Amino acid sequence: MAATAALTQGLERVPDQTGYLVICDGAVLASSGDLENDERTAGVISELVNTACAFRLPRCPRVVFGEHSFLVTISGQKLFVVKRQNSVREPVIV
C-alpha cells in the first residue's frame, strides 16, 4: 500500500483530473477514477509513447480531445498519465 501511495503522490492533486494511470512496461501499477484498471488505454498510451520516442517531443506530451486531455510524464521506466477535464471557455461577446 505504501509503495502505491508513493507512486501516485501528487496525481490526485492535479486540477480537474478525472483519473490517472501509472504504467511500467505496459502493465498498470496504479490507477484511479475514469482510468481505473483501464488496461486498453494503458496499452494505447504505451504504444503512443514508444512511437513518440523516435521524435523530439516536449518532455510532457499532451493528447487533447474535445472534452479532456491526457497528460503523460515519463520518469525512469514509468509513465504517469493523468486524464484531465478541459476547461470550457465562455465565448467573448463584444
Spell out the domain ranges in the chain: 26-82
Find all residues with CB under 8 Å of 78, minimum gap 6, and list them. 7, 22, 23, 24, 29
Question: pTM for this one?
Answer: 0.79
Torsion of CA 35, 39, 43, 46, to 10 degrees: 50
Which pLDDT value is given to residue 21? 95
Using DSSP's 3-state secondary structure scheme, residue 83 falls into: strand
Over residues 10-69, the pLDDT tens digits come to 888 888 899 999 999 889 999 999 999 999 999 999 998 888 878 776 666 667 777 888
